[in-house]
Each structure stands twice: as structure tokens, then as C-alpha cells.
Structure 1
Amino acid sequence: MTPSLPFALNRIVAPCLPLAEFLDLARALKTGSIELRNDLTGNEIEDGTPPERVRELCRAKGVRVLSINALYPFDVWSNERRAQALKLAAYARACGAEGLVLCPLNDPADPRSRAERVRGLRTALTALAPILREHGLLGFVEPLGFESSALRRKHDAVEAIKGIGGLDVFRLVHDTFHHHLAGEQEFFPELTGIVHISGVEDRQVSLAEIRDGHRVLVGEADLLGNAEQIRRLLELGYRGPFSFEPFAESVHALAEIRPALQESMRHLQASVAIPEGCAA
């Protein structure tokens, strides 16, 4: 019998659920791990919920907090960004989160050259490293595959992390959606801390036009090759969580999200055909 994939739930799966109910969902699905977000109006963090309350609830439910998603745009460093990073890091530590997701600038109007973007990335990583170390957190760098993104490929993130001596405190987010959009072929299992999974099924939209709103739960009609990406990561030795991150309103509007998630889990479990010994 093949072991189960170690699934997790990003808060975007069910943004309308109160935190306690979201944690119950994670327990019911036997995921045991979640990612919180600081960009959802009316939810914990954004609504002022004390981090100690979040920690208390998660401990009571036996749920692990993988990350807070996200510091944006982390690669455009400034006094303002430093203040944001310190505030978010303090909240993460107090609520029991293990790290912060770090997302780069995604702006078609970004005037910087490639060289300037690389320098900005290294400046930000250099400044963030001691903040993360001080707070006992990991920084999960998430390249965004959009053409307008300042950091599209994991290869460039790895070069920058190595260049500033940050291998102890930085990890990658392998997002199956962004990996596909960027046309990236390289995998970095030894540096990957979290995998974000979502599917796209709309065949009427070109690759350049795909946006977060097209991201649904992974099913038979998936165009992103989620199963193949997951299988490859496992073959290369990745043992971390696979966190559902669907942004589509059609998912958020479901009257019952649990059966939809269960079906997606069953589909991926069967499609990946995990080799023995690959469970987390």
C-alpha cells in the first residue's frame, strides 16, 4: 500500500470560514497543517486577532501552522518593507507559524532592469536573513511565473540565496501553477519547503492570460501537470507538505468544500502513484 501524500490547506481554500471551522476542516481531512494569510480582509491577522489566540486555537485542534502568506513585495526593500517584515515576523513567532512566504513584485510597470532586480533581490534577502533568524523562522521564497514578475524562476532564487549565504534560513515554494507559467524545467527538492498546488481547466485562456482567478482544485481536466510535477518532486526526494491554494471564486462559493477537497486528494493520490517510502 502506498503512503498518503502529506496535504495541507492554505487559508485561501475557504476564506469565508471562521478560523476555528477552518481548523476543523483541516482535521476532518486529516491534513494537520495549514497556511495562514495576511491579505484576507475580515480574517485573522488582518482583522486584528491576537497571535496568541491563533496559537491557542491551533494547539487545541492539533494543527501545525506552516507559514503566513505573505510579505509582498519582499524584493523591493525599504524602511517600510523592513517595518512590515518585523511586524509580520513577530506575529508569526507569536502564533506558532514556522515561516513567512516571500513574494516578489508583480507589476508590468516595474521599470527596473534585470540587473537591478537581481540586486534588489539580494539586498532584500540579506536584510531579511537576520530578521528571520532572530524570530526563529524560515523564509519561503515564492517565484511568481507571470511575465510581469520580478522573480519568475526558482533557479534565480537559489542563486541569490546561495550568493548571500542564506541556505540556513531560506527555502523555496514550488508552486505548480507558477512553475508551469514560467516554463521552468528545474526542480530543487532539497531546498523546497512547501509545494502549493492548484489546477487550471479553462482551455479558452492562453498561457499569458492565466491569472490567480483561474486556479481551481486539481482534477482530471487539469492543464498544469500537477500530478507529473508532484511525482517528479517525490522521485527527487522532496518530503514536505503539498498545500492546496485555489484562488477561483467558484471554489470559494462551494456550499461544501470538504467533499471537493477529498475528491481532489483522491485524484492526486491515484494519479501520482507514490513510490514506497515517499511519505513525509
Structure 2
Amino acid sequence: MTSEETTEGVRLQKVLANAGVASRRVIENYIVEGRIRVNGTVVTELGRRIDPENDLVDVDGVAIQLDVSKRYVMLNKPTGVVSTMKDENGRPDLRRFTKDWPERLYNVGRLDAETSGLLILTNDGDLAHVLAHPSFGVTKVYIAKVEGVVTPQTIAKLTAGIELEDGPIAADKARLLDVSKAGRDGSSLVELTLHSGRNRIVRRMLAAVGHPVTELVRRQFGPLHLGTLPAGRARELSKIERGALLTLARQDAGTPAEALPEEPQETQ
């Protein structure tokens, strides 16, 4: 055991340098400037030691991943695949997309079989539970191709709120995209931003205003954007993406685990 590693923890500079934040000298400057917090409290002592397995550290308000055993993967789920690691009915599932990682990964929430787009896979159970918990209200952005020509009045209805069989619902944002992008078949493209976790909510909302969904893709989940990731491909999150996701998750770290759902609903 080195002088920097004792039963009382490891020096903060060493932990953050190992995490790839910056050099130890730069991190010491961060500490002096009050830019680093441990468990929510600003640290100004250069000799501060922490427990990397249990303490939560952020720099300039951005969470730092200290546990290198945790894996965070973005998948562009194709249509026809169910959001489970093992489907009892033999349908295509998510196992084919996790073969490149030795860890046992799980999906955060679900996309129904006919919905494509951004799905997070991880072995971080705490993060998965928090992000999938309906009361946390993580924002998600969808693009839907729908039947018929959507009018500005319909967009206004979606944001003002409509009544469904399980109660009222309103989109956080809604906008009509370039109709020409949807083809010349009398269809429209609608972008919806929602934080609801209700079952198949996007499809039900658009059907309720007279425009059934024919294609649906999730483009954004919280701070993560699908970008140019092809359908059926998966990649690890970048350091910046991990920081943004962990920061978001830690904002609701007080939610008791027993209050979180074991099986998130399909939310499209």
C-alpha cells in the first residue's frame, strides 16, 4: 500500500487523475478554486482522501465516474427487436447487441418492438433504476411519421393537453417537421418531447388527435443524442456523455430503491 492509499482512503488528486479528469497538478488547482465537490460538499483541502467505491465526486457540477467496472452503452435499437435480454417467446431480443462487452448489461427502460432508436444498456443498477423511474421524469424526444397532414392546431392540442383513457397528458414540446421529408403519401413528421413514462404514450397521443403512428424513433434520452449511430449498432458513451448521464441520475439519488419499478413499461 502506497503513502497515497491508506485505510482512510485515497488522495482525491490521484483518484481524479486516474479517472482521466486532468493531471494531479491541475486537479490541485481545481481544489484550491473550489471546483470539486465530494458527496455534495466543496473540497478545499489538498490532502483530502476519499473512498472511490462509495464517495460521489463532481467537477464544475459534472459527475465523475470513479467505478471503472460500470459500463454505459448507447444502442440504436432497430424495429422488430423486443427490449429484453431474453424473450420467452423466441422473438429477437437485445442479447445480440451486448456480445462485445464482458459485463452483463441491462436495458434502461424499454422501446416497444416496432419503435426504433436510443436505448441505454448498462450494468449500473442504481443509475438504471433512477432513470427508468416515472417520477424522475427524464425528457425523451421522439420523431413520429403519422398518417394525414398535421395542422398547427393539432400541435397546439398536443402541448395544451389531451384526455386519454388513463388520464390527461400533455407534451412538453411538439413541432411539425418538414412534411416533404415524410414523403408524398399524405403523411407528416412530428417531433414530440415528453417526460412521461406511461405505456405506449406517444402512439396513443397521436392516435387520439387523429394521426396514427406508422413509424417511430427515439432520438434523445435525457442529455444523450442518437446522432449518426446506425440502426442495430451500439457504442460506449464518451466521457462527456457519461458525465452528463451520471449528473442527471445523481440529482435524484435520494429516491428509495424500493420505490422503483423492477420492470419498466414500454413507453411508446
Range into which the TM-score falls when normalised by the shorter chain: under 0.3
Specify which structure has the higher proportion of strand: 2
Specify which structure has the higher proportion of helix: 1
TM-score, normalization: structure 2? 0.27
* Rg larger in structure: 2
